[in-house]
Amino acid sequence: MANDLHRRLEAWLRYGDELGLGPFYRDRARTTLHTVPADASSGTQPPEPGPLPVSVSGPLAAVPSLFDGVESVPNDSLERIRTDLGDCTRCRLHRSRTKIVFGTGNPRAELVFVGEGPGHDEDQQGEPFVGRAGQLLTQMIEAMGLSRSDVYICNVVKCRPPENRTPARDEIATCAPFLLRQLAVIRPRVIVCLGAVAAQTLLGFSASISRLRGQWYDYRGARLLATYHPAYLLRNPSAKVEVWSDLKQVMAALGLKPPPPRPRQRR
Ligand code: URA
């Protein structure tokens, strides 16, 4: 058991090291870790997870998570986080950005959506998910019987990566602490990760989104579910079925009922 835990911890730390994170230290027992399966091999990436319980307790709960402690700012608030972010030049993404896209919505939201990073429209407007993928996200939120102002929407990185490329590991490592502070302040009941970057950042797994999606994880006391990114749905509309099944799980977790179907328009 001790060896097994040691091996998992080692894989976890190596993964954090690759992300450019660290040094690691033990934090208070509040720490939660998303499990690594029992047959973890000792490769350079943590192995892909199997189905997980919503909450992980026992010895694993004492293992530090990747960004442990970064969110524990006393008397923190979204305003303070925005002020700390400032006119950020911490990573190379600042060079090509127009506007920082901090996040928007209900600061007391029970449900938070986390995307990857701003695209062209978001970069211009300073608001997350306002382009084509954003319109689809808005439809998904409305299909759940909610509006954008009921939820909070933000991204892993706050500046647009050039040509909409995937943010690099060091860019994620630099920016993610602000996301973690946002989540710590909002304390949502449910977090929905849109796409692999958000899911991998918050869970610390390098597994594909098709592997991670559709099941519950524990993220520091919140329930976390990953699903496909709306931009992926624009390219692969058939995956909407899976996303809707994921969102129905979220609705059930939050006690939401789908709105009644809209009456058909008469011709
Ligand atoms: N894609 C994202 O991941 N975030 C946005 O804000 C817009 C598109």
**Tell me: the pLDDT tens digits for 74-96?**
999 999 999 999 999 999 999 99
- The whole-number pLDDT of residue 44 equals 36
pLDDT on residue 45: 39
Who has greater pLDDT, 7 or 34?
7
38 has pLDDT over 90:
no
Q: Per mean pLDDT, which range of 65-74, 78-87, 213-222 is the poorest?
A: 65-74
Please give the distance, rounded to the nearest whole angstrom, from the Cα atom of residue 24 to the centre of ligand 1: 30
Question: Which CATH number, 3.40.470.10, 3.20.20.70, 3.40.50.11890, 3.40.190.10, labels domain 1-256?
Answer: 3.40.470.10
**23-51: average pLDDT:** 35
Tokens representing 110?
């029970």
Q: What is the pLDDT of residue 137?
A: 98
24 touches 68 (CB < 8 A): yes
Q: How far is the CA of 7 from the centre of ligand 1 (A)?
A: 36
Between 51 and 66, the more confident residue is 66
* Contact assessment for residue 65 and residue 33, using Cβ atoms and an 8 Å cutoff: yes
**Please, which pLDDT band fits residue 49 given cuts at 50, 70 and 90?**
very low
- pLDDT at 14 (0 to 100): 54
- Top mutation candidate among 122, 158, 229 for ligand 1, by most atoms within 8 Å of CB: 122
Write down the pLDDT at residue 13. Answer: 54
118 lines ligand 1 (CB under 6 A): yes
User: How many angstroms is it from 140 CA to the middle of ligand 1?
Assistant: 14
> Is residue 127 lining ligand 1, measured as CB closer than 6 Å?
no
pLDDT, tens only, 125-151: 999 999 999 999 999 999 999 999 999
Query: Is the preceding peptide bond at 59 cis, omega within 30 degrees of 0?
Result: no
| CB of 151 shorter than 6 A to ligand 1 | no
Higher pLDDT, 179 or 53: 179
pLDDT reported for residue 251: 98
Question: Is the pLDDT score of 230 beyond 50?
Answer: yes
**What is residue 60's predicted lDDT score, i.e. its pLDDT?**
33
Average pLDDT, the chain: 82
CA angle 189, 191, 194 (to 5 degrees): 165
pLDDT at residue 63 is higher than 60 = no
pLDDT for 55 equals 38
Q: Report whether residue 188 contacts ligand 1, using a CB cutoff of 6 Å.
A: no
pLDDT at 31 (0 to 100):
31
Residue 16 CB–ligand 1 contact under 6 Å: no
Burial annotation 99-117 (CB, 10 A radius, 16+ → b, else e): ebbbbbbbeebbbbbbbbb
pLDDT at 205 (0 to 100): 84
